[in-house]
Amino acid sequence: MSLKHADVWRAIDRLAELNGLSPSGLALKSGLSSTAFNPSKRFFGKRKRWPSTESIAQILKATNATLDEFVALASPDGHARKTTLPLLGYAHAGRKGFFDDAGHPTGKGWDEVSAPAINDPHAFVLEISGRGMEPIYREGDRIIVAPAEKARRGDRVIVRTAQGEVMIKELGRQTAQKTEFLSINPGAAAIELATRDIEWMYRIVWASQ
């Protein structure tokens, strides 16, 4: 298959969307400049600018995608990888019986839903309810959570406390004794939790927005 200029950039945009990222977010996740994939960078005047093979290799590595999957996304009718993941309403995530001692989905009460494939056997989907996380997440949005993904400062995470409270936050500064969490709602204050008070914390790797 011969890829045209528009095909390659289409694949990059779709790969970013598949992973819940903007093109700039995908570039940063891959260790590239935040402007590497901006639409304004795709032409020099009337001359087409192509992404380097190295940058494509980096985004494939960062997203656990294969070259075949990238080529499939380049097609106008291309499709993303899909799988079936357990689905739970956000309001139920703090209740007992839905997670085992390691914080992985278990027991009854889970539905199943088709979702982008994630390289984590314990990945699961939560459906947002209520308006408390607007404008970032709206009621009915679905997020994929990957326990195997290491969360880094600036990542959006879901946190469950030892008391069963569940929150979606932005990960801030971490020490051995405590972790800072920033609110995703503008104007809300950051909080700190002692390490012993965090039952589990997982990175959000995709959202259905």
The backbone torsions φ and ψ at residue 87, rounded to the nearest 5 degrees and listed phi first, read -120, 135
Write out the H or E segment, with its range, that includes residue 161.
Answer: strand 156-161
Locate 75 and state its tokens.
């097609």
Measured between alpha carbons, how far is 89 from 142 in angstroms, rounded to an integer?
9
The backbone torsions φ and ψ at residue 172, rounded to the nearest 5 degrees and listed phi first, read -105, -140
Name the burial class of residue 121, with classes exposed (0-12), middle (13-18) and buried (19+) by CB atoms within 10 angstroms of its CB: exposed
Strands 166-174 and 178-182: antiparallel
Asked: is 82-207 a CATH 2.10.109.10 domain? The reply is yes
Measured between alpha carbons, how far is 182 from 138 in angstroms, rounded to an integer?
18
Nearest to 9 by CA among 73, 64, 66: 73
Torsion of CA 113, 118, 121, 125, to 10 degrees: -40
The pLDDT tens digits of the residues spanning 7-65 come to 999 999 988 887 778 899 999 999 999 999 999 989 998 899 999 999 999 999 888 77
Q: Judge whether 5-74 and 82-207 match in fold.
A: no
Which sequence spans correspond to the domains of the chain?
5-74, 82-207
Fold (topology level) of 5-74: 434 Repressor (Amino-terminal Domain) (1.10.260)
Q: 175 pLDDT band (50/70/90 cuts)?
A: very high
